Amino acid sequence: MTLGRARVVVAFTLLGTGCLTGKLPHVGRDAPREHVLRTGPFVFTTDFELARRDPLVDDLLGLRQAIHETLFLPEGNGLVRIVVFDSQQGYDEFVRTNFPELPSRRAFFVQQAQGEMVVIAAQGDRLRGDLRHEATHALLHRSMMSVPLWLDEGFAEYFEAGPEGLNSRHVARLDVDAQRGWKPDLRRLERMRDLWQMNASDYRESWLWVHFASCQSSQTRRELLTYVTNLAHGEPDSLADRLERVDPHYVEACLAHLDDLAGNLANKTLPEEGENYHVGSSIPILPAGDVIRSFLPRRPSLVGTDSASPDR
């Protein structure tokens, strides 16, 4: 990732790379393969030994349950390969040699030619958030026939945060923009087809729309879930159209929602950006149910934190 927290998630086709459980390209520095751990839909391949109940493993299993039960998605097929290098140097060498077209990034997601999902990252202070973000992409694409770019990033930003999804840094930055006259524009995001069109503000706005639709009312929540279901079956749809039918002034309602979130953050210290996580360390892992509640009617709001895309 460049520019501090900047990170772009890359999803593209790799021709001739073989199946998910096979080797990744091995020109120059090989991908980790000494240690392999299979659990649920994930296959971890690492340079170091990873315990089956490592907090990192438990966290991704909880993420998978949260995504599927929150969005009522089918389980999907195929495995998600999680590749973690034990050093930034090894990761950088592998990416530079095998994916020279990529800019410098801490982690990325690859969808291979036959649909296999691969997440690639390196040990570091933000590993947990990076893997949550990238694994969210993988799990969505594993279960949905179509995932619009903005929704893909919005959900990745949300689920990366962990329970309740409130990203206080996103709120603070969007609130400053709103005070300067900025307004969210979901239709503009829906027109985006190229990842490189998205800037830091677009990542934040994508998160805001997911958050708003999820908690504004039972109607907006229902429209979001119907929208996701239609996309999962390959049916084209527009969340902007759906929200406008519920409330013709939905843009103003979204701004009011942001204002409420910003008010709740007043006099609070923003969290640190990094998490000192390394395999084997202790991190707070919340049960999936604490995340699952976030989209359901009994929750008054849906909230997350920040950890992995362009310095957003």
Work out the average pLDDT over 285-296.
26
Dihedral sign of CA atoms 69, 212, 204, 124 in order: negative
Res. 278: pLDDT tops 60: no
pLDDT in tens, 148-165: 999 999 999 999 987 677
| Mean pLDDT of the residues in the chain | 79
- The percent of residues in the chain predicted with pLDDT above 70, rounded, is 75
DSSP class of 20: T
Pairing of strands 80-85, 107-111: unpaired
Pairing of strands 42-46, 80-85: parallel
Coil vs helix vs strand at 78? coil
- Angle in degrees, CA 57, 58, 60, rounded to 5: 70
DSSP class of 117: E
241 token code pair: 């159209």
Each domain of the chain, given as residue ranges in start order, spans 35-146, 151-295
For domain 35-146, give the fold: Glutaredoxin (3.40.30)
pLDDT in tens, 130-151: 999 999 999 999 999 999 999 9
